[in-house]
Amino acid sequence: MVQREKVRAMEEEYNAQEVENKWQSRWNESRIFEPEPDEREKFLITIPYPYLNGNLHAGHTRTFTIGDVIARHKRMQGYNVLYPMGFHVTGTPIVGLAELIDNKDPETMDVYTRLHRIPEDILPGLNKPEKIVDFFSVEAEKAMRSIGYSIDWRRKFTTTDPTYKKFIEWQFNLLHEKGLIVKGSHPVKWCPNDNNPVEDHDILHGEQATIVDYTLVKFEYNGMILPCATLRPETIFGVTNLWVNPDIKHVKVKVSKDGKDEIWIVSEEAHTKLTYTDREVEFIEEVPSETLVGIKVTNPLTGKDVITLPASFVKAGNGSGIVMSVPAHAPFDYLALKDLYEKDLTEYGITEDLRDIKLISLIDAKEFGEYPAVEAVEQLGVTDQNDPKATEATKMVYRREFHGGVLKENTGKYAGIAVSKIKDALTRDLIEQGIGEIFYEFSEPVICRCGHKCVVNMVKGQWFLNYSNPEWKDKVYRCIEKMNIIPEELRVEFNNKVDWLKDKACARKKGLGTRLPFDQDWLIESLGDSTIYMSYYITNKFFAQGIEPEKLTAKLFDYVLLNKGTVQATAIDTGLDEHLIAQMRNDFEYWYPVDMRSSGKDLVANHLLFFLFHHVAIFDEDKWPRSLAVNGFVSLEGQKMSKSKGPILTLKEAIDTYSADISRMYILSSAEQTQDADWRNTEVESAKKQVERFYKLAMEIIDSDGKSGLAGELKLIDRWMLSRLEQCVRDTNNDMTSLRTRGALQNAFFLLYNDIKWYQRRGGSAVLYDVLNRWVRLMAPFIPHICEEIWSGMGHDENEFVSLAAYPVFMPEYIDNDAELAEELIVNTLSDIEEIIKVTKLSPKKAVLYTSPQWKNDAFKLAISMQNGGELNPGKLIKTLMAEPDNRRYGKEIPKYVQKMVPDISSMKTERFEMLNDFKLDEKKTLEENIECLVNEIGCPIEVYTADEPEYDPEKKSRFASPLRPAIYLE
């Protein structure tokens, strides 16, 4: 007997590893996650494939688990779901890692044994990129299988597969033909001493520095050019003069670009910087600075002549060393000009009165009048150009004008355009007219490790993806507009990023990857080859069966992915079977577009953008992605994770320690989609207990000869339980639609669990089996293994997977307001009694309850109906009540009660209001029927009366009774 009980107990103990292995192999054997096109609606969800320079970690775990839970939820909702996975290995990090391992770099060896947990006998062998790829792709797949992702593994690939390279070549040829890949130059941080680009870790000072693109405006003087660098080219229209610092050295140089020669006058330092740009620069001679002051130069855009004036604030190292002055909109310019009013400038040959220089206003901003700079200076009380408040005034004007400013009539064809939108368009026009150029400069000085000052260097002859192309961008905006973006707040961010995106260098000399098909010297950069590969999952189901890469011609991809040409022609071109090609085409047509791409937020400004750009460039509009979801990061016990420094928690470690279901449950419940999650061991432990409790409760229900109780008579508490269950079903589904996995688990797990416990505490049991039947399906996407185990425990056949069962759909007929209000009455009464006991420190021998008198019920209902009609007014309510002769005897109490009740009702939420609107509840009967529960909880006999006829009321407590709050007397 004792022996038998022990065996039984062991079975009840949940063995995660065994159960999870079992269901993983059953899923695998039955191929339920290997979908083929059928008559159902499809759902293609993809997650960015992991980059394999290490083991999968908690960050991957989160993103992939979110994807899996969506896939499983959609699958249970009846969609034909495809969730594929591949491996990203293109680029330099894996090559770098192989070198480090080959050199036995101590830090690398340490990080990869200790943090990535690679056995010491294996690690030294990973000294070639290919070996690293082989090793980690096997490890990653194992890890993802062990956490139970519903991935179709037939479609996996790595980005160095010969067939994948064919696909990438096709794509890049296509983009090249469309003119979206162009040759050009691009600016990099450069150390003149090392003669090399500097990366962030090579920088001693100025890691924060960014490369800022100034517009260089070419003012003319005697056939020579005085270029001025500005961040606000639109202010050219307001230039009244230039500033030249007579105390710095200026030089005359010959500048050649695109076969055009010009003579420029710039500061000596600017000359040095120019030599690193994509211009040929030849020194001619020094120019005495004073000869540059007081001369007339021509504004290239307006054709007007303006004078050059002396200014000590102009720094040789900033821009060209010559500055244009816009006193109407730039406080510094205004102050500097004003400071000169009283100065004698005859030494520069300037005799005219500077007060005659009229400020030119060109921007309308709602906070300002004609001259924003003047207003800002006066408002802040800035005294002169050396006043620190001048900077503040500049910021203020700049910010307001940039965000709310619009160009005025005097800007000609630009009039009416927002200041925030003008820079790129205007700069392009200036360049076209040959009167402007782009000039790159750091936002702050950058010093190399070697101690030298860095410059911006133009790397020439580089291949670019022409993301700045306005038509291309327009298509992306259109795509975003039609897309579902989760969370919605990110839509603005995406649009901003599209706006900000410039041409991107897309080729490298080093690393793994595919050669640029039209220029074999270059390798395609790794973000560029990861843009439309979701379509490759579809074709790779066929390729992976062993098709020679040579057969993957451009015609094949044209036909399958773009529906160009015919199946016959494609068959001849490739030597592949017509039927096979038709099948590929058919599969693609079925599965594409991507229904959802879900990713970590680190990819917003790069991969996700490129994903959109390439899709709109290559595919027809009906194949553009439909939705995009972004999730936050994961930290470990409050610390940021780091692949190279730690801490790091690998997926495998999490599974080994906590099991698949618990890791899934925890990562999904600990934070909502966009928030960063923090992995804390104490909370994972608690998740473990919760899941075990769930299993135990399920087993108890099954063991107690569980069967449906819906056919029998339902008591109040049963109806309450079913009503609560449906609320959870509804809320869970709503949460899942918006990818709020945390909210979904709150509803599907914690709240429902608490309700079930209360149901049991109240003596309910009739519908437990029915609740479990829905509950286990509700939870299946989150913790699928344990749910399969329970599902089979409930008597489902080996091939009836809960993973394929129907997800519970909200059944409004089970919502029972009266049952919920009745239960609320009982809970309220109970807690009121307990509170009184606590305050009085009584141990009651008897409790007496008085339910609300009829007149208060009437008053309450009347108030509700008045509120319903939108005119709840205490005076009117009192009058109406008093008009009833029977109510006269409560003449004193009515106003008191109304005054108290009206604010409660008028501040009610609509949901609550609707619930009370038509409630019918006999409070006395309800309390009497559930007296047993109250007696058990309080531990003394209880009597119930209505306040209308209190048979026993020694302290006149009955007068406190009101609807849903019975009065209480204890003795």
Between residue 693 and residue 722, which ones bind RNA under the rule CB under 7 A?
693
Map the footprint of RNA across residues 71-110, applying CB under 7 A. Answer: 88, 90-93
Contact set for RNA, span 461-480 (CB under 7 A): 467
- Measured from the CB of residue 215, what is the shortest distance to RNA in angstroms? 15
Tokens, residue 744: 């979904």
Nearest to 691 by CA among 779, 588, 813: 779
* Burial class of residue 911 in the structure, from the number of CB atoms within 10 Å of its CB (0-12 exposed, 13-18 middle, 19+ buried): exposed
Q: Helix, strand, or coil here: 970?
A: strand
**CB of 46 vs RNA, minimal distance in Å:** 17
User: By C-beta, is 29 or 871 nearer to RNA?
Assistant: 871
By CB under 7 A, is residue 908 in contact with RNA? Answer: yes
Rounded to the nearest angstrom, the gap between the alpha carbon of residue 131 and the centroid of all alpha carbons in its chain is: 34
Per CB under 7 A, 965 contacts RNA: yes
Tell me how long the chain is: 971
Helix (H, G, I), strand (E, B) or coil at 687: helix
Residues 844 and 971: beta-carbon distance below 8 Å: yes
Tell me whether residue 456 or residue 571 sits nearer to RNA (CB atom). Answer: 456
According to CB under 7 A, which one of 31, 304, 421, 502 is a site residue for RNA? Answer: 502
β-strands 260-267, 250-257 pairing: antiparallel
Pattern 115-154, RNA, x by CB under 7 A: ----------------------------------------
Span from 76-84, 177-185, 656-664, 826-834 in contact with RNA (CB under 7 A): 826-834
C-beta closer to RNA: residue 525 or 818:
525
Least Cβ distance, residue 328 to RNA (angstroms)? 20
Task: Show the 3-state SS of 740-795.
Answer: CHHHHHHHHHHHHHHHHHHHHHCCCCCCHHHHHHHHHHHHCCCCHHHHHHHHHHCC
* Residue 598 near residue 63, CB atoms below 8 Å: yes
Q: Which of 933, 956, 948, 941 is nearest to 851 (CA)?
A: 948
Per CB under 7 A, the segment of 114-122, 258-266, 336-344, 485-493 that binds RNA is 485-493
Q: Tell me: does residue 525 bind RNA (CB under 7 A).
A: yes
Least separation in angstroms between residue 370's CB and RNA is: 21
Burial 56-89 (b: 16+ CB within 10 A, else e): bbbbbbbbbbbbbbbbbbbbbbebbbbbbbbbbb
Residues in Cβ contact with 169 at an 8 Å cutoff, skipping those fewer than 6 apart: 514, 515, 517
**Least distance to RNA from the beta carbon of 419, Å?**
11
First CA to last CA distance, the chain: 49
Q: How many separate helices (H) and strands (E) can be counted in the chain? A: 34, 31
Binder among 225, 295, 330, 671 for RNA (CB under 7 A): 671
Nearest to 744 by CA among 667, 634, 662, 669: 669
Q: DSSP label at 158?
A: B
Q: How many residues bind RNA (CB under 7 A)?
A: 94
Judged by CB under 7 A, which stretch of 26-34, 111-119, 651-659, 959-967 contacts RNA? 959-967
Q: Pick one of 501, 516, 612, 698: the residue that binds RNA (CB under 7 A).
A: 501
Q: Does 907 bind RNA (CB under 7 A)?
A: yes
Q: Return the residue of 201, 358, 366, 838 that touches RNA, per CB under 7 A.
A: 838
839 lines the binding site for RNA (CB under 7 A) = yes
- Cβ atoms 717, 764 nearer than 8 A: yes
Joined together, the tokens standing for residue 488 give 């919605």
Give the span between the Cα atoms of 668 and 781, in whole angstroms. Answer: 11
Q: How far is the CB of 10 from RNA (least distance, A)?
A: 14
Stretch that binds RNA, among 116-124, 391-399, 584-592, 914-922 (CB under 7 A): 391-399
Interaction between residue 500 and RNA (CB under 7 A): yes
DSSP string, 400-438: HHHHH-EE-GGGGGGTT-BHHHHHHHHHHHHHHTTSEEE
**Binding positions for RNA, 418-447, rule CB under 7 A:** 443
Which residues ranging from 538 to 557 are in contact with RNA (CB under 7 A)?
Answer: none
And the tokens for 781? 């996407």
For the CB of residue 751, give the shortest distance to RNA in the complex, in Å.
6
Phi first, then psi, for residue 104 (nearest 5°) are 55, 40
- Residues 316-335 contacting RNA, CB under 7 A: none
Does 496 contact RNA by CB under 7 A? Answer: yes
Tokens 């780091």 map to which residue? 642
**Minimum Å distance from CB 66 to RNA?**
15
| Min CB(122)–RNA separation in Å | 22
Pick the piece of the chain touching RNA (CB under 7 A) from 134-142, 311-319, 702-710, 958-966.
958-966
CA-to-CA distance for 380 and 375, rounded, in angstroms?
9
Residues in 754-793 that interact with RNA by CB under 7 A: 754, 757, 761
Distance of closest approach, residue 834 Cβ to RNA, in angstroms: 7
**Interacting stretch for RNA, rule CB under 7 A, among 12-20, 173-181, 243-251, 595-603?**
595-603
Q: Which of 98, 188, 363, 480 binds RNA (CB under 7 A)?
A: 188
CA distances from 475 to 249, 351, 482, 531 (A): 49, 57, 11, 16
Binding residue (CB under 7 A) for RNA from 297, 603, 825, 894: 603
Q: Which of residues 564-593 bind RNA (CB under 7 A)?
A: none
**Least spacing, CB of residue 882 vs RNA, in Å:** 24
Q: How crowded is residue 468: how many other Cβ atoms within 10 Å of its Cβ?
A: 15
**183 sits near RNA (criterion: CB under 7 A):** no
Q: Which of 131, 154, 186, 452 binds RNA (CB under 7 A)?
A: 186
Structural element, H or E, at residue 945: strand 942-946
Stretch that binds RNA, among 297-305, 306-314, 718-726, 745-753 (CB under 7 A): 745-753
